[in-house]
Structure 1
Amino acid sequence: MALRYLTVLLIVLCCWASLNALVLVTPSKTTYEGVQGGKTTLECKYTLAPEDIGTLDIEWFLVAADSQQADQMIINYNTGVVYQDSGPLKDRVHFTSSDPLNGDGSIDIINLRESDTGAYQCKVKKLPGSQNMKMRLNVYIKPAKTRCFVDGKQEIGSDFALKCDTKEGSAPVTYSWEKISGLEKLPPSTPDASGAVLSVKNASQAFSGTYRCTSRNKVGTDECLLILNVIPPTNTAGIIAGAIIGTLLFLIILGILIFCCCRKQKEKKYEKEIQHEIREDVAPPKSRISTARSYIGSNHSSLGSLSPSNMDGYSKARYNHVPIEEHERPASQNPSFSAPKVAGPNLSRMGAIPVMIPAQNKDGSIV
């Protein structure tokens, strides 16, 4: 019975040995590192046995991060023909050997991208043998666009910080500072964990000089320069006083301009009102001729009511001279000597009573 079991075991071992005659050579490493834009080689070498008489098939897969998803084949070699998938690695992955039949199924990936980071699997089949192997690829970005700057006032006695920052670069990124001019020694400071910040307390003019910050990670370095110039503190009181005086002068000038503008507007408004004001014309004065006639006319009506009996009290001599204007007397009647002439309105103011001489006949009777 024991002999029977031993015979079965030997048969199984022989079959297993024949099925696993194809062997994958253990690579020098299972984790690979690359730089973005660079190139890397993923190793997959194998050996064959006389029993492996089938067709050689070499397949490379990008292992899915989620176990629920299928792996993505990126390149395949079968019967002397190479096939590439139309995925993110298309035209960027090639077999390292021109003839993978010689036992080298390694691949080269060029123009690496950070998104190429992940797990890869190499599977070699040559019936009846079949083997596969997984490896890890990490693609890093070198530090780039590093800048240096000062946070705070560069004045004697003040506190400020020298800072270093990298816009690009895969973590972790570390920083280091050094002084390359002036006193070749860094000022007393309190660096942070990454070294990106150099805190300076109670600065002195001796801290002035040129500083260099170097940023680095696993795949590269970058640097920047900073010129520090520590100066005496500024006269803040004078600056504040000057600002206040300047503000007051500005307000005074602004007030004067506003006042002048308002006054100008008022003057324009007054001139416009004067131009549109309706004025009542003054009646022209009456002429002396019309005035004298008005006196005569008014008294004519009063004398017209008198009868001959009422005229006894009046002497004819009283009516011999009538106050008339000189220009009303004809030139032929002007005597060589005449008394001073007084205008009718002036006689009225002097108390004279204007009268009208009634018409008379030749015998002197009133008509």
Structure 2
Amino acid sequence: MVPPPLAALLGSLLLCCAGLTKGVKITSAVQPMVEKAQGEKVTLPCTFTLAPEDQGPLDVEWILIPTDNQKKEQTILMYSVDRIYNDYYEAMKERVRFTNSDPKLGDGSIDILNLKSTDTGTYQCKVKKAPGVESQKIQLTVLVKPARTKCYIEGSQETGSDLILKCASQEGSPLLSYNWRKLTGTEELPATSLLNKDTGELSVKNASQEYSGTYTCVAANRVGTDECFVVLNVTPPINAAGTIAGAVIGTLLGLLLLAFLIFCCCKKRKEKKYEKEVHHDIREDVPPPKSRTSTAHSYIGSNRSSLGSMSPSNMEGYAKTPYNKVPSEDFERSSGQNPNFPPSKVAAPNLSRMGAVPVMIPAQSKDGSIV
């Protein structure tokens, strides 16, 4: 048993030693874990008090300890010798800051803006003022709200069939839970349905028309919710034979219509080709009608073939015939207008008796004009 005087002495020594080791003390409440949603802001507290015996420079340092043990610790923010250093960690540059712009007043808390899922980790606040040193850790978990949730139906929607209403979020931190509700009709899930909250599947057995309606699925986690909608329409079975027959008839009608259109196109092309050939088939050797400028020229032109066949000896008798003996125009017209008077060649002696005048026949062009 220790004598009372000695016990008092030992107590005094212990109090003295405690006073010597006492220095910086973090006063903020301990929060071992903090959960926030992605995109939000979080404040990690770190308030402290200083002891008179702490005479060294004040340093406040925040360190990120990654969840992956393979990665090393990273200083993200620091206050030292009345200066703030915030360019240590590129991933949080311009997103992390001291809550109080002058941490030496006893507030070393920090704000992290626009949280990302990669910000998840353990954050350590370390306050140093020689010879005092103290630190505190906070676990931050950044959760992603459910988003881009989709609802759909798998299986036949015919009466008596089995089907599954499915729901899934493309974004969201685990653990996600799903819940289905019916919004129309009785607003109760079918009696034959079975819900799996972890997978988001609502299985329906032996569907009936009473199950038809609008359903909604709500996906949720600790930081938010998201929902989607789907319409279930249970109908009687479709007549497969009638559907096949209708499809066959429709196909045949389509083929007939296509064949008719092809036939019409071919016929039209043939008609156009024929018209084009007829249009270009023009005779170019048809002479224009003869001109009747004078009685003598008409007579000479009509008998050119006869005079051209005469020999030079026969031409002597015609040279002596005067020009006033040229047959009259009435004779030429009457012979030309009488259908019973057939055209014939006239011999040279007959031409002389008729008073024809022998002349030189000039050359004529194709259209009958004199060259």
Please give the range of the TM-score, normalised by the shorter of the 2 chains. 0.5 to 0.7
1:66-86 C-alpha deviation (Å, 9 max, x unpaired): 777664332222344433227
Shift in Å, 1:139: 0.6
Alignment partner, residue 234 of structure 1: 238
**Contact 1:148/1:165, CA 8 A, preserved across alignment:** yes
* TM-score, scaled relative to structure 1: 0.63
1:182 maps to 185
Q: 2:38·2:144 contact (CA, 8 Å) conserved in 1?
A: yes
Deviation string, structure 1 residues 123-152 (Cα, Å, up to 9, x no partner): 211011223343321111111233323233
Alignment correspondent of 2:355: none
* Cα distance in 2 for residues equivalent to 1:209 and 1:171: 30
Indicate yes or no: 2:133 matched with 1:130. yes
Gaps of 5+ in 2: 1-12, 286-304, 306-341, 343-371
Counterparts of 1:160-309 in structure 2 under 5 Å?
A: 160-187=163-190, 188-192=192-196, 194-266=198-270
- Once residues 267 and 80 of structure 1 are traced to their aligned partners in structure 2, the CA distance between those partners, rounded to angstroms, is 101
Residue 347 (structure 1) aligns with = none
Q: Is the 8 A contact 2:66 2:120 kept in 1?
A: no
Amino acid in the other structure paired with 1:54: G
Separation in structure 1 between the aligned mates of residue 231 and residue 275 of structure 2, nearest angstrom: 68
Q: Post-superposition shift, 1:272?
A: 6.5
Aligned 8 A contact 1:142 1:170 in 2: yes
Aligned partner (choices 86, 89, 94) of residue 91 of structure 1: 94
Give per-residue Cα distances to partners, 1:186-241, cap 9 Å, x unaligned: 12234346141112222101112332211111212222333333222333333322
TM-score of the pair, normalised by structure 2:
0.62
* 1:51 matches 2:53: yes
In the alignment, which residue of structure 1 is the partner of 2:39? 37
CA 1:278 to 1:184, structure 2 compared with 1: closer, same or farther past 3 Å? closer
Identity of aligned residues (%): 53
Whether the aligned pair in 2 keeps the contact of 1:62 and 1:74 (CA below 8 Å) is yes
Q: Displacement, 1:269?
A: 5.4
Would you say the 8 A contact 1:20–1:130 is kept in 2?
Answer: no
Partner in structure 1 of residue 300 of structure 2: none
Whole-angstrom CA distance in 2 between matches of 1:258 and 1:223: 55
- Corresponding pairs, count: 295
SS, match of residue 139 in structure 1: strand
Kept in 1: contact 2:214–2:229 (CA 8 A): yes
Asked if structure 1 preserves the Cα contact closer than 8 Å seen for 2:182 and 2:189, the reply is yes
Q: CA RMSD in A?
A: 4.6
Moved more, 213-222 or 184-193: 184-193
User: Which residue among 110, 115, 118 is the counterpart of 2:118?
Assistant: 115
Partner of 2:313: none
Structure 2 counterpart of 1:121, one-letter code? Q
Partner of 1:150: 153
